[in-house]
A and B are shown apart, each in its own frame.
Chain A
């Protein structure tokens, strides 16, 4: 497979500016808005991933010249402390308009920052640390460089958590890290995923599978959500390992009554009207039927003539012919699509039927208890499962239910505490703001289900663990 180090049209990339990320697809002459700037990605095509760009007036990207090592911004003078510095808002002599003028004159970010320093009456009195902090702050505001990166779970998970946490049930990236490791997600296994995290969890599972093995996405309602997964930009062969199966057919599959015959492949037979391809055909709904019967061109012309006379509008003729052809094509397409769908359902069912999946990952806004109890049936014994929930109580219910039912050991309800640090000489401390919470996880390992016979025989001989407070060995 061709290794792509260079950005191409159609690629999914991640834009980065400081700590802010955005996932976009590289499209010809398409305007991208990121961090209050708009630009086109066209000039990035052909460049290597990881390249830094400047945004020029007009929105085109320009390769950033080689890095300056450190700041070329001089700090000749500095004060010892801030006892004499008055914060009256008047120390900066440049006005907002002045800065706009500088920008219009085409001054680069670094030059603007230098101007701000030169026009600040208090800069020379600040301590060295305060000067560094000031420069860093101004750079962040006025330097508009962006870096274009190849997508990864790390970048996308941080992006979603920073920009749209609601879309991913507030799953923080360190919690996602636990899910992937506790779930023993690796190449060659067969993993069941049920998520409503925009496809982020699905994508991260697929990344860890590397295109080997299979992933079956269980989905509620109409169809699986995969936007977040597409952002990973996986090579096409990865998609062949991905299957989907609707929750509403799980019971039928478990009971052995799932109908996979060619006739009614789609149990939810919604009446998709044949006007999908052409708006004109709505008024001419009788046409497709008569069209299928008569293939004789002469008969066709006569019918068209009749129509013409009826409508008395000559200009509809080409539209009518198009409508006929399009609705016929539409019907054929629909047939092919339905057969494809049936085949996909059958292949997913075949993977599930053996009830020998290697792992289960649940991360959704649905109550986890019924989802977990329903899907565990498909998992082989001695395999891990991990359930994420934004809230704790539903997982307590899952824990209790599993204890009652048996079939799972090493149950653990956990959450992850995360803290970032600022590390600078004489200024090292935890960062001031931290995440309040990243969601909760229930993890465990499946074991062979208790046969009733075995349970009765060994009832009196079941071992009693010394410490009963956590996992009591389940008794019948």
Chain B
């Protein structure tokens, strides 16, 4: 198992995702002799997980069952332990496309936070790219390093515990793309520019507040960035359901041979409805291109 490569059989040391039902999943680390409690009973790692195929059904001690899934960055995003507010898949997907990330890309990111975006970037740039991620909080930086190691991706990433606004990313002139999710991104634009390759590259800044966006766009313009563009994306979920709609009774029609509706008929519709509430805002995404030097 690794977050950047699929495998078929569960092995000791793997991180797997236990699926207990919709919106009820949890990550566990597979260890010989260990046990994990689920709502349907205990799972014995040695007999129930090790050697089993990813995607299989696992019966728990109380008799109920769960599925064991191969980890992906998307599953990780919804199951990881939060140390900070994280980025979700909808924003991550657009960031990936608009920054033109692909295998071999060299990317700079700050702040690392809880590693949600980091894992997605690593998956996209593997096996030949590299991620330079900067986190100014010492414990968070340490935790991120640990997780990357456990997830077998540490060869693709360098974590630096420093302040990107003061000290930059620790490298210059080698990045294809830079991503900023920090309180004052305009203070890091100079460093972002110097981190990017001479031939040019892409930059993205994520900010919840419009004032931050305004200051960042101004800084980008002042530094000679082009194609400055700000957008937001939201995901709308459609809940598929069957609804039964009763038909009205208008009474018997004149000159009609039809049997009048006695009021007990209804129509079944297969449709989808929006949820009661939805995420209305995550943050604004600002993209720009650093032109060739």
Contacts and interface: CB of A to CB of B under 8 A. Distances in A.
Contact of B96 (A180, A445, A469): A180
A75 interface: no
A154 interface: yes
A213 B10 CA distance: 21
B81 to A, nearest CB: 20
B276 to A, nearest CB: 11
B12 interface: no
A187 B74 contact: no
B262 interface: no
Contacts of A152: 100
Nearest to B230: A421
A470 B239 contact: yes
Contact of B6 (A48, A189, A411, A421): A189
A425 B239 contact: no
B97 A410 contact: no
Contact of A419 (B70, B124, B232): B232
B233 A186 contact: no
Contacts of A173: 97
Given A383-B6, A417-B233, A209 B210 contact: no
Nearest to B217: A423
B102 A210 contact: yes
A207 interface: yes
A50 interface: yes
A396 B235 contact: no
Interface size grouping (class) on chain A: 35 or more
Nearest to B211: A428
A173 B6 CA distance: 27
A211 interface: yes
A423 B235 contact: no
Interface in B77-96: 89-90, 92-94, 96
A389 to B, nearest CB: 12
Interface stretch (A80-88, A123-131, A455-463): A455-463
Interface stretch (A273-281, A303-311, A446-454): A446-454
Given A186-B4, A186-B123, A473-B21, A48 B55 contact: no
Given A181-B74, A208-B103, A421 B64 contact: no
Contact of B65 (A210, A419, A458): A458
Contacts of B213: 421, 423, 428
A322 interface: no
B238 A380 contact: no
B63 A458 contact: yes
Interface size grouping (class) on chain B: 35 or more
A304 to B, nearest CB: 60
B167 interface: no
A423 B238 contact: no
Interface in A388-411: 392, 396-397, 399-400, 409-411
A186 B96 CA distance: 12
A384 B292 CA distance: 38
Interface in A136-175: 152-154, 157, 173-174
Contacts of B21: 463, 465, 471, 473
Interface in B37-87: 39-40, 53-57, 59, 63-65, 67-70, 72-74
- Among A397, A421, A423, chain B packs the most CB atoms within 10 A around the CB of A423
A181 B92 contact: yes
A382 B69 contact: yes
A179 B65 CA distance: 30
B124 A186 contact: yes
Contacts of B238: 392, 413-415, 440
A154 B176 CA distance: 14
Considering the complex of A and B, which 8 residue pairs feature the smallest CB-CB distances, nearest first? A381-B55, A210-B103, A382-B55, A181-B93, A471-B22, A177-B97, A465-B21, A382-B54
22 contacts: A48-B199, A50-B200, A174-B97, A177-B98, A181-B74, A181-B93, A182-B74, A188-B6, A188-B126, A381-B53, A400-B240, A413-B238, A414-B236, A416-B234, A417-B234, A423-B286, A428-B214, A447-B57, A448-B57, A463-B21, A469-B241, A470-B23
